[in-house]
Amino acid sequence: MNQRPNIPDCAWQWPIGKKWETPYIVRYASNLDDGPEHGAPLGGFGAGCVGRSPNGSFNLWHLDGGEHIFDSFPGCQFSIFEQTAEQTAKQTAEGTGTAYAMSTEPSESALSSWQWYPASSADHSTGQYHALYPRSWYVYENVFKAQLTCEQFSPIWANSYQESSYPVATFVWTAHNPTDQPLTISIMLSWQNMVGWFTNSENSPNIQQREDGSPFYDYVPRLRESLGNYNKLVCDDEKAVGFVMDGEWGGEPEEGDGQFAIAASHPTAEVTYNTRWEPDGDGRDLWDSFATTGRLNNFEDAGISTDQQIGGAIALRLTLAPGETQQIPFVLSWDLPVTEFATGKFAYRRYTDFFNRTGRNAWALAQTVLSNYRTWQQKIQAWQQPILEQQELPDWFKMALFNELYDLASGGSLWSAASADDPVGQFGVLECLDYRWYESLDVRLYGGFATLLLWPELEKSVLRAFARAIPSADPKPRIIGYYYTIGEQDHTAPRKLKGATPHDLGAPNEDPWVATNYTSYQDCNQWKDLSSDFVLQVWRAFYVTGGTDVDFLADCWPAVVETLAYSKQFDTDGDGLIENSGAPDQTFDDWRLQGISAYCGGLWIGALSAAIAIGETLIQHKRAPGNAAIVLAQYRRWWQHGRNAYQKQLWNGSYYRLDTGSGSDVVMADQLCGQFCTSTMGLPDVVDQDYIAPTLSAIYDACFVKFNAYAAQLEPQNQKFEGAQTGHFSAAALGMPIGCANGVRPDGSPQNPDDTHQLEVWTGINFGLAAFFAKVGKRTEAMTITEAVVQQIYQHGLQFRTPEAITAVGTFRACHYLRPMAIWALYYTLSADDA
């Protein structure tokens, strides 16, 4: 057996317990900033997830669909006891050995008797954390004589629509004795009974307006409410041992009802346990025995809690001969089958298709892990290895490519049980935790590449949900938050107009997939990119997955026709191009565009191409309605006229103008998004090929090279980004490029230093832009842009909470964002280029 697990060289690394010297801080006080202690999440898509930081603490709890808890419950912890042969010989009645709880962050309020693992320092390493999602590793050194590694993962790999939904976390400990004397090792996993904690105590909370104009609601979980909970010891014939954490709930489970389980298995290890201890006390009821002998006192108590905190623990103890290596698997599983939204609106989670809906399956899930974890490891490796072996891809890119998939688990994801209409269930990921609504369509135009390439049936389920929503209407008026921020509190608009493509699929406190357009920052009925985004993504899902799923196109065709007809009303002069209104009416929703715009106009032309391709495919397969030929003839006229107007009115000789109404000379980084989309879908060009290269050169020169040079000249405290806090550092001032700004003048300077979105570097936009550069053969520029952004994320404490936006003053906005999964668009174009 290998002394150490085979950790890929490209995995992200961070010294265990090392503090972050220059972390990004949040830009607006109302936005979420939990600090940089984030690691790869554990748990399947839509099953809820748990996060464990590089310092070893379990601190992120996304176990209630769409809701966020960042808190440390220190009783949830691994601990290690080690005893040398010399210590064994000298052992007294009290015992002797070395023991640590394997987190470098001691509890401030409990467990005062525990000894906590020492953190790495500049001159002394105690180990390294590694992550290549869905796997991560803790490699410990210079503390114990044994070589200890913990690999942790959940069963997630491409095209898995079963195991990838499981609510489980696997921890495989590898212990090697490098000495010439025996070593005794004991590994303990302790956990708190959390049954009933993860549900909102505020039923149907009121929607409120944040000062930045975004809607939000209060989430008040029932944390630490443990009345009626109990722990039960379990052993089975397969030598698995552990305990199930349950509660006095009965009947059909509601949200929060269910079980947790801890389990482990080893053929020769000595197993000891304690099914009831007090995690909010000093911890001596667990620690005194374990720290002196590596054993627990085999205390078994399944009594009902009268509202005090209760925990359980198991410990596996074995002696390693000189040179011997052993592996011990531990499992954490949970069965919380129900996600409730507004009162009475709920969904069963996808994994219940395989383990039923009773909420009593935590032990069965744990047994499944112990029986299959080796096979799962092999399947994850078989999925990742072909990419890891591509020598032309740099390690930092491979690292970010897999690690950015974290959001599919920890981005508040929902994945419902299957139905006749949705044979793999319905799926959704939040735009982010600050903007808590699902699958924002403008954002997933970029971030959707991950599901498209790896779990395409989930991609199609999302788009089917949008197709169903387009014919719906909800006339209820709402305050539009953008105007609220500038003092126009009476500016209202209906929530959803018939035929308009919704911005999102709703929020966790209402009825997602049904009640759409949750966001009210802008009037999304007036957005000029959403209809185009929808049509393009429908064709993309068909084209990229082999061009055979005609049923999918037929399902979406009526919505395609209806939403294009709706958006054509914005072509006020009949030239075939829709116009922006002068309000921020597209994905850059703080950026006013007026008249024909390069961004929305290009997407519109691309969408017409996609609609024509969809209609022609349906006609070819005799699946089109009778009027399809007439509709297509109309689209072809719009496309021809619009394409001519786009070139004539926007091309300025070097790049495409921002719009026709503002008079701005700003170079917009994403001005040719429509052209990029069509280039990846086998569709006609939005602009002639001769204009693409000079436009991209102008973008790279202004938005990357000159913007970063401009930013480097300014001291952080003098940078005028309105409302921004001053970060601890300025990446630009240190000579580190941070990526492409969304829009600056040709010399790299801002049109207005108080602009918001224009001066931000949007991580996902940068990855999408890089994919376009790669698509046209500008691979050097593509990788330069991407590396700049990746280094900011992973060197400055933004890992596993990648934000939408970063700034040159070391601030960020909107963490845990969906759009950065656009890095898979870059992989897609690089792969096509290499092929």
Residue 65 lies in a domain: no
CA distances for 812 relative to 44, 403, 668, angstroms: 28, 19, 20
Residue 408 lies in a domain: no
Which pLDDT does position 92 carry in this prediction? 52
* Strand order across the 311-320 sheet: 98-101, 77-84, 183-192, 311-320, 270-277
Phi-psi region of 744 (alpha: psi -120 to 50; beta: other; left: phi over 0): beta
Q: Which of 322, 357, 381 is the last residue of a domain?
A: 381
Number of domains observed in the structure of the chain:
3
Q: How many CA atoms lie within 13 A of 152 on its CB side?
A: 27
789 and 805 Cβ atoms separated by less than 8 Å = no
Q: Across residues 825-830, what is the average pLDDT?
A: 98
518, 594: one domain:
yes
Which pLDDT does position 214 carry in this prediction? 74
Range of the domain at 745: 701-834
What is the per-residue pLDDT across 444-477, written as a single tens digit (0 to 9) for each? Answer: 999 999 999 999 999 999 999 999 999 999 999 9
Residue 401 lies in a domain: no
461, 591: one domain:
yes
Residue 269 CA from chain centroid, whole number: 38
Cα separation, 687 vs 602, in Å, equals 8
Residue 813 CA from chain centroid, whole number: 15
> Does the bond joining 134 to the residue before it have cis omega, within 30 degrees of 0?
yes
Backbone φ, ψ for residue 331 (5° rounding): -135, 140
Residue 425 lies in a domain: yes
What is the per-residue pLDDT across 5-41, written as a single tens digit (0 to 9) for each? Answer: 899 999 999 999 999 988 999 998 889 999 999 999 9
Report which of residues 608 and 94 the model is more confident about.
608
Q: Which of 323, 353, 381 is the last residue of a domain?
A: 381
Which pLDDT does position 1 carry in this prediction? 53
What is the per-residue pLDDT across 504-541, written as a single tens digit (0 to 9) for each? Answer: 999 999 999 999 999 988 999 999 999 999 999 999 99
Report which of residues 430 and 835 the model is more confident about.
430
592, 630: one domain:
yes
**pLDDT over 80 (residue 734):** no
Residue 272 lies in a domain: yes
Query: Residue 835 — very low, low, confident or very high, per pLDDT cuts 50/70/90?
Result: low
514, 564: one domain:
yes
Say which residues have a Cβ less than 8 Å from residue 232's Cβ, sequence separation at least 6: 243, 244, 246, 275, 302
718, 679: one domain:
no
Q: Across residues 813-824, what is the average pLDDT?
A: 98
Residue 25 lies in a domain: no
333, 435: one domain:
no
Report which of residues 492 and 834 the model is more confident about.
492
C-alpha R_g of the chain: 28
Cα separation, 627 vs 499, in Å, equals 18
646, 729: one domain:
no
Which pLDDT does position 3 carry in this prediction? 67
290, 195: one domain:
yes
Residue 623 CA from chain centroid, whole number: 37
Which pLDDT does position 721 carry in this prediction? 43
pTM: 0.96
Cα separation, 612 vs 528, in Å, equals 19
CATH code at position 494: 1.50.10
Residue 54 lies in a domain: no
Say how many C-beta atoms besides its own lie within 10 A of residue 323's C-beta: 11
Which pLDDT does position 718 carry in this prediction? 39
**pLDDT over 60 (residue 817):** yes
Q: Which of 687, 718, 740 is the last residue of a domain?
A: 687
Cα separation, 743 vs 760, in Å, equals 8
168, 313: one domain:
yes
598 and 650 Cβ atoms separated by less than 8 Å = yes
Which pLDDT does position 735 carry in this prediction? 73
**DSSP code string of 269-313:** -EEEEEEEE-TTS-SHHHHHHHHHHS----B---PPPSSS--EEE
CATH code at position 240: 2.70.98
What is the per-residue pLDDT across 162-212, written as a single tens digit (0 to 9) for each? Answer: 999 999 999 999 999 999 999 999 999 999 999 999 998 887 667 777 766
Phi-psi region of 810 (alpha: psi -120 to 50; beta: other; left: phi over 0): left
Range of 478-492, 672-686, 702-716 with top mean pLDDT: 672-686
**pLDDT over 70 (residue 677):** yes
Q: Which of 18-32, 536-550, 666-680 is predicted least confidently?
A: 18-32
Query: Residue 722 — very low, low, confident or very high, per pLDDT cuts 50/70/90?
Result: very low
What is the per-residue pLDDT across 751-781, written as a single tens digit (0 to 9) for each? Answer: 998 888 999 999 999 999 999 999 999 999 9
Cα separation, 443 vs 504, in Å, equals 10
Which pLDDT does position 86 carry in this prediction? 76
Which pLDDT does position 95 carry in this prediction? 60
Say how many C-beta atoms besides its own lie within 10 A of residue 641's C-beta: 15
Say which residues have a Cβ less than 8 Å from residue 510's Cβ, sequence separation at least 6: 341, 342, 345, 518
708, 628: one domain:
no
SS3 414: strand
Q: Across residues 601-619, what is the average pLDDT?
A: 98
Cα separation, 827 vs 680, in Å, equals 12
Cα separation, 560 vs 611, in Å, equals 7
| Buried b or exposed e, range 175-205, using 16+ CB within 10 angstroms | bbbeeeeebbbbbbbbbbbbbbbbbbeeeee
What is the per-residue pLDDT across 76-105, written as a single tens digit (0 to 9) for each? Answer: 999 999 999 877 666 554 567 999 999 999
What is the per-residue pLDDT across 262-299, written as a single tens digit (0 to 9) for each? Answer: 999 999 999 999 999 999 999 999 999 999 999 999 99
What is the per-residue pLDDT across 776-798, written as a single tens digit (0 to 9) for each? Answer: 999 999 999 999 999 999 999 99
Q: In percent, how much of the chain has pLDDT > 90?
A: 86
Mean per-residue pLDDT over the chain, rounded:
94
Which pLDDT does position 357 carry in this prediction? 98
Q: Across residues 212-219, what is the average pLDDT?
A: 78
**pLDDT over 80 (residue 738):** yes
Burial of 122: CB neighbours in 10 Å, binned 0-12, 13-18, 19+: exposed
604, 715: one domain:
no
677, 710: one domain:
no
Residue 301 lies in a domain: yes
